[in-house]
């Protein structure tokens, strides 16, 4: 139980009045970000990152993770009240959340959503508390081959578990890798794909890509379709809390299923969005009330929210222990750690014990504080949506521009943000997934250098990736994942077409 | 300028179509192929062979990444080519494109202006212009909101968090 002792130490680091104040500020900002279109967890954190440069790393990461928790909570508010998912992972929440609001049970839906988010998050944090040190200890023995294997598995999972077209996923991912190659090659020092442009020397900054792809891209989509918030009332009486909590114990099965699905999808970078859909789907299949799903069933709100929050939180586990983020937002947080001179990975648990345990403790605290804030302040947050979009849209463009500029103090990045914005719009419209692109851009350098180191050690022998059972198992799993769409296609053909129709 | 009201739901499918999904899909696949071509060309310059004591040459990784990207894009292109019902659906309409341009074209001008008048003044002008011409707000409201956003961001970045942003002649006049 040395984890508990370490955790207690972490609480001592995290629980200072200053940090709690940052937590509250972060969560409020996060909910606002989650509620507003065009600002999401990933680009919201990216934009606010420069504000934390002058802080201590522990305080800074507490604020940034709090923004993330807030954004996770915030997505549910618009989904339930206005049938507009503030975040992609709250799409599944609209299925039952909005019908509940239309029946006048918006308060129960909101309380249910927040509570289940909380449960999912705490489950994932507990998992991190006990699993992360073990994973980190284990990963200390990793060589370049093992690291490449894990990275390979990460990207292969996108292909194997993605919902869209595998060819589009691969194209999007490779574009990320190609962009990551631009600039100075860390191993040989040669310039790659800069074509004589000095601005490209440092390569493409993934924070800029995140701000453009998600922020500007979403603003364009919202401008195209228009945005009208004509929503249900957001009054939340305290008796609704008790009324809802009384119904929740019946859904223990759903909670457990969604927690497990969420954690799995968060650790392997499936992400919160597919996790929420899977949580919803599982609950629909196994719940006694499954046939009422879609008509305003509380369980239909609980299932996706629990899974999304569990996934969003669990995404921090591979980020901290292996330096491989499980989601775009975790990738942005990883970028922050690098800026403060902290190298995420197994060594972090040895060299920066205070920081790591302070962060884990703050995850517990942040979610408790978050739950209290959202339960008490829903009407305020809902009021933000009454602000006309013709004010919000240009203001968000301004915020994105400031965020992109501060990444590297370069105007070039602001121009790139606009380019990435157009790409983000096109890719979203045409079903090219964005998370693989972002993660490839973040991890490209690392994946490439572990690959080159491994190859150098083995003198060009690819079998180095199967030289021991661990590495071999991860690589094999990765290869299976990468070819899963083809494999499942063949299986489906053998079983006949009617079965496929049912699954799809 | 026709009325562009972003605070209203628009049914893009019902409007006059501009680009179909199929055309857009083909265009983006070609864009990917072009990107692959650029990367492959530069990788060949850098070399993608095995080097003694050095391991894979600098072009090795990008070369194969670009080859995979090209293959995936060819698959996407072949899938997009035949006319289909899904492909015929509009990606955007003439009006939808107009609404997007209403925010994007001024944004380009805004980014260009930052270099000359600083980010705060440019932001205020951008927000105010959009509110006036697209949102049809009263002049005083537009000035109040735009000025407010700029002043708050100025305080936040320059004063509280000490993150310097591009400034122009106006800030210089106040001694910043």
pLDDT digits (tens, 9 = 90+) for A306-354: 998 898 888 888 888 888 887 788 888 888 888 788 888 888 888 888 8
User: Does some domain include residue A258?
Assistant: yes
- Residue B1's pLDDT band (boundaries 50, 70, 90)? very low
Q: Is the pLDDT of residue B94 over 70?
A: yes
User: Does some domain include residue A123?
Assistant: yes
Q: Is the pLDDT of residue B67 over 50?
A: yes
- Residue B141's pLDDT band (boundaries 50, 70, 90)? very high
Q: Which residue is closest to A188 within chain B, CA to CA? A: B58
Angle at A426 between CA A421 and CA A429, to 5 degrees: 125
| Cα dihedral A486/A492/A496/A498 (nearest 10) | -120
Q: Find the CB nearest A393 among B61, B103, B137.
A: B103
Q: Find the CB nearest A398 among B8, B79, B126.
A: B126
Q: Which of residues 112-171 of A touch B (CB under 8 A)?
A: 165, 167-168, 170-171
- Which whole number is the average pLDDT over A57-83? 84
Q: Which residue has the higher pLDDT, A186 or A55?
A: A55
> Given this model, what pLDDT does residue A497 score?
54
Q: What is the DSSP string of A27-88?
A: HHHHHHHHHSTT--HHHHHHHHGGGGTTS-HHHHHHHHHHHHHHHHHHHHHHHHHHS--SSG
> Given this model, what pLDDT does residue B40 score?
93
Q: Range of A174's domain?
A: 2-228+240-503
Q: Find the CB nearest A50 among B42, B92, B163.
A: B163
Chain B residues with beta carbon closer than 8 angstroms to that of A47: none
> Given this model, what pLDDT does residue A501 score?
43
Least confident window among A161-175, B1-15, B106-120: B1-15
Which residue from B106, B167, B40, B19 is spatially nearest to A418, judged by alpha carbons?
Answer: B106
User: Does some domain include residue A234?
Assistant: no
CA distance A457 to chain B (A): 9
How does pLDDT run across A86-106, given as a tens digit for each residue?
Answer: 667 777 888 888 888 888 788
> Given this model, what pLDDT does residue B116 score?
92
- Cα gap A181→A328, rounded to integer Å: 19
- Which whole number is the average pLDDT over A7-17? 85
How does pLDDT run across A177-186, given as a tens digit for each residue?
Answer: 999 989 888 7
**Tokens matching residue A497:** 């077409």
Least confident window among A181-195, A231-245, A266-280, B6-20: A231-245
| Cα dihedral A88/A329/B155/A219 (nearest 10) | -30
Chain B residues with beta carbon closer than 8 angstroms to that of A430: 21, 24-25, 28, 91
How does pLDDT run across A122-146, given as a tens digit for each residue?
Answer: 999 999 998 888 888 888 888 888 8
- Domain tally, chain A: 1
How does pLDDT run across A386-420, given as a tens digit for each residue?
Answer: 788 888 889 889 989 998 898 888 899 999 999 99
B1, B20, B58, best to mutate vs chain A, most A CBs in 10 Å: B58
Chain B residues with beta carbon closer than 8 angstroms to that of A185: 58
How does pLDDT run across A275-317, given as a tens digit for each residue?
Answer: 888 888 888 888 887 788 888 888 888 999 999 889 888 888 8
Q: Which residue has the higher pLDDT, B117 or B8?
A: B117
- For chain A, the residue count is 504
Which residue from A284, A266, A277, A328 is spatially nearest to A123, judged by alpha carbons?
Answer: A266
- Say if residues A313 and A266 touch (Cβ distance below 8 Å): yes
* B56/A402 Cβ within 8 A: no
A188 φ/ψ angles, rounded to the nearest 5 degrees: -105, -15
Whether the complex's predicted ipTM surpasses the cut of 0.85: yes
* A228/B55 Cβ within 8 A: no
The DSSP symbol for B157 reads I
> Given this model, what pLDDT does residue B158 score?
85
User: Does some domain include residue A233?
Assistant: no
- Residue A270's pLDDT band (boundaries 50, 70, 90)? low
User: Does some domain include residue A203?
Assistant: yes
* B110/A401 Cβ within 8 A: yes
User: Does some domain include residue A131?
Assistant: yes
Q: Is the pLDDT of residue A261 over 50?
A: yes
Task: Report the 10 Å Cβ neighbour count for A344.
Answer: 25
- Cα gap A239→A245, rounded to integer Å: 10
**Tokens matching residue A80:** 């339930």
> Given this model, what pLDDT does residue B120 score?
94
User: Does some domain include residue A386?
Assistant: yes
> Given this model, what pLDDT does residue A504 score?
36
Chain A residues with beta carbon closer than 8 angstroms to that of B111: 401, 411, 414-415, 418
Least confident window among A70-74, A167-171, A271-275, B151-155: A271-275
> Given this model, what pLDDT does residue A27 score?
92
The DSSP symbol for A184 reads E
User: Does some domain include residue A235?
Assistant: no
Q: Find the CB nearest A226 among B9, B50, B108.
A: B9
- Cα gap A50→A42, rounded to integer Å: 14
> Tokens 């927690």 belong to which residue?
A259
- Which whole number is the average pLDDT over A451-457? 84
A174, A411, A444, A449, best to mutate vs chain B, most B CBs in 10 Å: A174
Answer positive or negative: Cα dihedral of B5, B11, B13, B16. negative
- Residue A425's pLDDT band (boundaries 50, 70, 90)? very high
Q: Find the CB nearest B12 among A222, A224, A456.
A: A224
Q: Which of residues 3-62 of A touch B (CB under 8 A)?
A: 50-51, 53-54
How does pLDDT run across A149-203, given as a tens digit for each residue?
Answer: 888 888 888 887 776 788 999 999 999 999 998 988 877 778 888 887 878 887 8
């Amino acid at each position: 139980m040395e984890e508990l002792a370490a955790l207690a130490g972490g609480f001592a680091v995290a629980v200072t009045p200053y940090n709690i104040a940052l937590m509250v500020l972060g969560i409020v900002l996060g909910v606002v970000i989650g509620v507003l279109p065009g600002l999401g967890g990933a680009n919201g954190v990216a934009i606010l990152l420069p504000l934390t440069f002058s802080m201590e790393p522990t305080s800074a990461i507490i604020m940034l993770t709090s923004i993330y928790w807030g954004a996770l909570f915030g997505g549910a508010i618009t989904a339930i009240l206005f049938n507009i998912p503030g975040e992609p992972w709250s799409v599944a929440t609209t299925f039952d959340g909005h019908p509940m609001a239309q029946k006048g049970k918006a308060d129960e839906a909101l309380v249910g959503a927040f509570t289940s988010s909380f449960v999912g998050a705490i489950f994932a944090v507990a998992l991190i508390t006990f699993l992360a040190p073990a994973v980190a200890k284990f990963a200390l023995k990793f060589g370049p081959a093992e690291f490449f294997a894990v990275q390979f598995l990460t990207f292969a999972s996108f292909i194997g578990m993605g919902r869209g077209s595998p060819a589009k996923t691969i194209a999007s991912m490779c574009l990320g890798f190609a962009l990551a190659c631009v600039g100075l090659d860390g191993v040989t020092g040669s310039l790659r794909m800069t074509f004589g442009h000095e601005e490209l020397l440092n390569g493409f900054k993934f924070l800029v890509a995140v701000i453009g792809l998600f922020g500007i891209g979403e603003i364009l989509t919202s401008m195209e379709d228009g945005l009208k918030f004509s929503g249900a009332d957001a009054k939340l009486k305290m008796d609704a809390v008790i009324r809802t909590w009384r119904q929740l114990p019946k859904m223990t099965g759903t909670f457990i299923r969604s927690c497990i699905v969420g954690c799995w999808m968060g650790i392997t970078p499936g992400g919160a969005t597919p996790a929420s859909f899977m949580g919803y789907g599982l609950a629909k299949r196994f719940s006694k009330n499954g046939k009422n799903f879609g008509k305003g069933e509380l369980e239909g709100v609980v299932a996706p929210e629990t899974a999304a929050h569990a996934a969003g939180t669990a995404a921090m586990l591979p980020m901290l222990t292996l330096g491989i983020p499980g989601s775009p937002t975790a990738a942005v947080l990883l970028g922050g750690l690098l800026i403060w001179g902290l190298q995420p990975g197994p060594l972090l648990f040895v060299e920066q014990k205070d920081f790591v345990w302070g962060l884990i403790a703050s995850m517990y605290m942040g979610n408790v504080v978050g739950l209290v804030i959202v339960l008490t302040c829903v009407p305020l947050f809902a009021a933000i949506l009454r602000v006309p979009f013709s004010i919000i849209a240009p203001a968000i463009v301004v915020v994105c521009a400031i965020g992109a500029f501060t990444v590297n103090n370069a105007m070039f990045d602001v121009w790139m943000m606009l380019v990435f914005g157009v790409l983000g719009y096109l890719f979203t419209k045409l079903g090219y997934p964005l998370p693989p692109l972002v993660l490839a851009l973040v991890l490209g350098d690392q994946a490439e250098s572990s690959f080159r180191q491994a190859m150098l050690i083995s003198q060009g022998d690819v079998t180095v990736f199967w030289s021991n059972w661990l590495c071999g198992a991860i690589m094999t799993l990765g290869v299976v994942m990468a070819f899963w769409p083809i494999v499942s296609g063949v299986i489906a053909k053998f079983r006949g077409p009617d079965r496929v129709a049912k699954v799809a | 300028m026709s009325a562009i009201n972003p605070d209203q739901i628009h049914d893009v499918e019902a409007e006059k179509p501009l680009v179909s999904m199929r055309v857009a899909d083909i265009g983006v696949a070609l864009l990917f192929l072009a990107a692959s071509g650029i990367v492959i060309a530069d990788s060949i310059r850098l070399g993608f062979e095995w080097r003694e004591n050095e391991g894979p040459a600098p072009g090795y990784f990008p070369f194969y990444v670009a080859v995979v990207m090209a293959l995936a894009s060819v698959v996407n292109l072949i899938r997009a080519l035949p006319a289909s019902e899904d492909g015929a659906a509009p990606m955007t309409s003439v009006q939808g494109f107009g609404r997007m341009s209403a925010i994007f074209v001024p944004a380009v001008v805004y980014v260009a202006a930052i270099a000359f008048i600083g980010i705060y003044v440019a932001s205020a002008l951008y927000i105010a212009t959009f509110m006036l011409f697209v949102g049809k707000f009263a002049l005083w409201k537009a000035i109040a909101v735009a000025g407010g956003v700029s002043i708050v961001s100025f305080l936040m970045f320059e004063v509280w968090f000490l993150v310097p942003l591009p400034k122009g002649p106006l800030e210089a006049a106040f001694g910043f």
